[in-house]
Amino acid sequence: MIGELAALGAAISWTVSAMLYGKALQQTKPISANIVRLSCTSAILLILLGVIAGFGDLRSLRLNTAVLAGVSGIIGLGLGDTLYMVSLKLMGVARAVPITCTYPLFNLLLAVLIGEKLTLSLILGAIIIFSGIWLLSYERGNSKGEGQGKFLFKGVAAALATAFLWSASIAMMGVAVKENPSLNDALVISTIRIVTVGALILALSPMIDRKHDFLKMKRRTVATLIVGGIVALGLGWFFLAYSFLGIPQSMAVPISSTTPLFSTLAGIVLLREKVTGRSALGSVIIVAGIFMIFLV
């Protein structure tokens, strides 16, 4: 039961962080936001690791596990989350989050490519998920008939790329955690992922944010990004890593993917986003498809 609750905690954490990111992105660019979020959050979490668990477990961690965790962070948090913020800015929380949460489908498709059996539930799940994506990515025109049938290509492409990168990152983290099955090790691995990409993106900031917009950000926006980073990276990814110790990855991942249900509701109630019946139905369909592909 603890594993299931941890996976659900990850889903709720990512919903809260998506709302905070959406608010902050109204004032800044995605790449600038990710630089501030990752660099500041990594410093805070490294300090917390020292206070909570000390650095003994960090020194005792095997090199290959540390490298795997670091690469996982670069792929998922550096590349993936930057594209995630792009999709949030282009589409809003209620539309973008359900599409990014299709990452379990990519995990299973990769498994099929390396020789695992293709089942009927996987085929049906894929069809259901892409039906949900179509519903979410379709934007009706205005009353004058402009933009009828317009697809949000940039936002959808960014969201799908995010899902693929997250799937690869989660698979790497799952391997790292299984090699070190303890609560402290899960905390250390989660911290390594964040600190690695935080240091890298800060070092690259003069090249990827040439106007140095991340240094001109308002204090309120910085605070919002830091809180969102702690919730998503500190709590969310730790909950997911911890869930791998209690239940199989095949159970933990779809539970963590229920974020679209929470994000759609939050987008409507808290962010006052205009969510149509089509968008709400698309969110529900995507979650149903995610669970379908795990009925093996």
Give the DSSP per-residue string, 220-234: HHHHHHHHHHIIIII
pLDDT per residue as tens digits for the range 278-287: 777 877 887 7
> How far apart (Å, rounded) are the C-alpha atoms in residues 77 and 38?
8
On the 0-12 / 13-18 / 19+ scale of CB atoms within 10 A, 48 is: middle
Is it the case that residue 144 has pLDDT exceeding 50? no
Nearest alpha carbon to residue 191 among 241, 225, 227, 226: 241
DSSP 235: I
Total domains in the chain come to 1
> What percentage of the chain reaches a pLDDT higher than 70?
82
Boundaries of domain holding 27: 2-292
Nearest alpha carbon to residue 94 among 272, 227, 224: 272
Q: Which pair of structure tokens corresponds to residue 184?
A: 């402290």
Record the pTM: 0.77
pLDDT per residue as tens digits for the range 19-68: 899 889 989 999 999 999 999 999 998 888 777 766 666 677 788 888 99
Arithmetic mean of pLDDT, 239-244: 81
Query: What pLDDT, on a 0 to 100 scale, did the predictor assign at position 162?
Result: 95
Residue partners of 170: CB distance under 8 A and separation at least 6: 72, 76, 103, 107, 240, 249, 253
Is it the case that residue 296 has pLDDT exceeding 60? no
Chain-centroid distance, C-alpha 129: 17
> How far apart (Å, rounded) are the C-alpha atoms in residues 286 and 135?
10
Q: Which pair of structure tokens corresponds to residue 148?
A: 């009828």
Is it the case that residue 143 has pLDDT exceeding 60? no
Q: What is the dihedral of CA 104, 231, 33, 187, to 10 degrees?
A: -70
DSSP 116: P
> How far apart (Å, rounded) are the C-alpha atoms in residues 218 and 55?
34
Residue in this structure with the two tokens 């933009």, named with its chain if needed: 147
